[in-house]
Amino acid sequence: MATPKIKELEKIPNHSIGIISLIVILTIGITVIIASHKLAPSPVKTMSSSHLNQTQPTIATTDPTKTPIRPTYDSKGNPPTALGLVMKTRAFDTEPSKVVYITIDDGPYPQNTPHLLDVLKNENVKATFFDVGKQIEKYPWLLKAEYEQGHSIGNHTYSHDYNSLYKSPDTFLADIQKNDNLIFSLLGIHTKIIRAPGGTSCFNIDYYNSLDANDYMAFDWNMDTKDTEGELSIQQIVGNVDKQIGHKHKVILLMHDLPNKSSSANALPLIISHLKEKGYSFGTLSPKIMPITFPEGFYKAGAHS
């Protein structure tokens, strides 16, 4: 049985053996190339990691010690990172896909706070009032009205005095605690959401550490009515908001209930209707909402960091 096969092999001409040898050599060569390619770093992997970096523009490595600075919480609630920064991990609520948090700062004032409360009631929208302690002392009934109408109460410091507040993290914290205790004496709640006068751009790392150690959370904003920039008309205020909406899925809107800001309250129904038309719902701030904060403070080392 084996003989015919040997004969068949003997029949194979010499040039065919050469071709077969060439095929075998080529096959081995290609296999070696593929194997060495697999061992080398994959170009696809490199592209995907650079793509990840592009989708996280908040991550910077400008710190000379190479400590990565991330001035935001991540999607799992892990805190911002920077050299010397020690903040807690948080559990945040899932938010609607398009949501606006209206925040009203600097009151209460009898000239505008009741008007704003009426507008919000008519529109069936809840907001967050960041109140100032020295105003609360003068008009405690307005704080109570805000709270009883279902709005969120935030702490905008007792004094609102930049000189004393930004002397040190300790003076800032003491002022916040003074207002916290005042609000507690009137409402029986400790509000843990704060807004720094001027925003957290005035902070350094020690301010975040000090506030976080005392469970406070700072909220800045990403949309500004600019109603503190002179006497604006209703149309100018509404225009300022319309210009900034863009494609934001989450908005923290800054406005004020200072005595000379009647146009802010008058503009609010139009602002709300424009935002509703664009598909936004309205929410109130709490420690369960991931904050929006300015990045600047995370790049400033403190005395203890």
Please report, as ranges, the residues that interact with Zn ion according to CB under 5 A: 105-106, 197
The H or E element that residue 282 is part of is: strand 281-283
The Cα 150–Cα 137 span in angstroms is 21
- In whole angstroms, the minimum distance from the beta carbon of 106 to Zn ion comes to 5
Angle (CA) 297-220-95 rounded to 5° is 125
Residue 296 is classified by DSSP as G
Choose between 250 and 261: whose C-beta lies nearer to Zn ion. Answer: 261
Q: Which of 115, 151, 156, 256 is labelled catalytic?
A: 256
The Cα 122–Cα 63 span in angstroms is 49
User: φ, ψ for residue 97 (rounded to 5)?
Assistant: -65, -30
- In whole angstroms, the minimum distance from the beta carbon of 219 to Zn ion comes to 12
- Bond from prior residue into 71 cis (ω within 30 degrees of 0): no
Q: Give yes or no: 105 in active site.
A: yes
Q: Give yes or no: 106 in active site.
A: no
- In whole angstroms, the minimum distance from the beta carbon of 261 to Zn ion comes to 12
- In whole angstroms, the minimum distance from the beta carbon of 132 to Zn ion comes to 7
Q: Which of 105, 106, 131, 227 is labelled catalytic?
A: 105
Q: How far apart are the first and last CA of the chain?
A: 88
Choose between 82 and 232: whose C-beta lies nearer to Zn ion. Answer: 232
Is the CA virtual torsion 143, 149, 150, 152 positive or negative? negative
Choose between 105 and 206: whose C-beta lies nearer to Zn ion. Answer: 105
138-146 long-range contacts (CB < 8 A, ≥24 apart) are: 139/107, 139/108, 139/109, 139/110, 139/113, 140/186, 142/107, 142/108, 142/109, 142/110, 142/113, 142/114, 143/108, 143/183, 143/186, 143/187, 144/186, 144/187, 145/113, 145/114, 145/117, 146/108, 146/113, 146/117
The H or E element that residue 117 is part of is: helix 113-123
Choose between 105 and 280: whose C-beta lies nearer to Zn ion. Answer: 105
- In whole angstroms, the minimum distance from the beta carbon of 269 to Zn ion comes to 23
Choose between 85 and 232: whose C-beta lies nearer to Zn ion. Answer: 232
Residue closest to 78 by CA, chosen among 295, 70, 294: 70
- In whole angstroms, the minimum distance from the beta carbon of 87 to Zn ion comes to 24
Choose between 199 and 283: whose C-beta lies nearer to Zn ion. Answer: 199
Catalytically active residues are 105, 256
